[in-house]
Amino acid sequence: MSILVTGARGQLGRELCRQLGSAASGLDVDRLDLTQAPIVHRHLEQTRPEAVINCAAYTQVDQAEREPEACRAVNVEAVATLADGCRRLGCPLVQISTDYVFGGGRGQRHEPYCENDPPAPLGVYAQSKADGEQVAATVAEHLIVRSCGLYAHPADTAARNFPATMFRLAAEGRPLRVVCDQRCTPSYVPEVAAAIIFLLGAARRGEGPWGIYHATNRGETNWYEFARQLFLLDDLSVELTPIGTTDYGAPAPRPAYSVLDTSKYHKLGGPPMSHWRESLANYVTAWRGIHRAADHAHGG
């Protein structure tokens, strides 16, 4: 099998390529600019992949408010180009999406969103991802996999994510202010990648329907609780203060509640998604092992 993984230099794309091994053909913008439709179509015709997993995305949520055209070029128009190419080849398209497609409905939500709940995006980035889903769904054999707050294995030193940022800031000795009123489920990339690969295989074998799936870790938390648990697991004493979203003052709106229901995925019998506390503990254990090895190598 030959699977084209776009956005292969991102943390999810890298992990998918690692888990797929020789079956993966990983490309990023330096080798395949998805905003250049003729080049994309030519590449697909020449390589004829058996499936496309699109991890490429404009993910700078706040900057998207200032650059809506650039955001939509990647998150909507490029998806349309891939979808057109996949229809021509008759190959499946897996579109990676986000919990941010929810959160804009009336009233405060307290129950996890199911796959058939209507999207209610807030802001340019969220709207672009919701629109990208609709475009991907024009391919007969499509998967739309929504996840949340991705963080890679700490061995992926190029990954930019919340735990890595918290550890970096803590090492600088700064007091930290972290938002406490956005409920979601940060998710560990190795588990999300395994779920995506399982879903694609199951759908291709006819063991599960094509369509939308949620793939996050289990449970729910907020970013302040998540940071506090991170530091507790590593026995770090950090001055940590909870703040509200309005105090943070980000240009783009964020969902107050965007927890995703994963029961549809789990009913298929895929690799289990751990509770977020367990996944975070696995991350910290790996992080400590890597840093102990590094300290030993440097005589520390």
Active site residues: 125
End-to-end CA distance of the chain: 45
Does residue 214 come out as left (phi exceeding 0), alpha (psi in the -120 to 50 range) or beta? beta
Give the tokens for residue 113: 């969103």
Strand positions, DSSP E, the chain: 3-6, 24-27, 51-54, 93-98, 142-147, 150-151, 176-179, 183-184, 187-188, 211-214, 221-222, 240-243
Q: Please give the single-letter amino acid code of residue 111.
A: E
Q: Around Cβ 1, how many Cβ atoms within 10 Å?
A: 12
Cα separation, 56 vs 48, in Å, equals 19
Q: Around Cβ 134, how many Cβ atoms within 10 Å?
A: 15
Q: Please give the single-letter amino acid code of residue 108.
A: Q
Give the tokens for residue 223: 């970013």
Give the tokens for residue 82: 């891939």
Give the tokens for residue 9: 């230099």
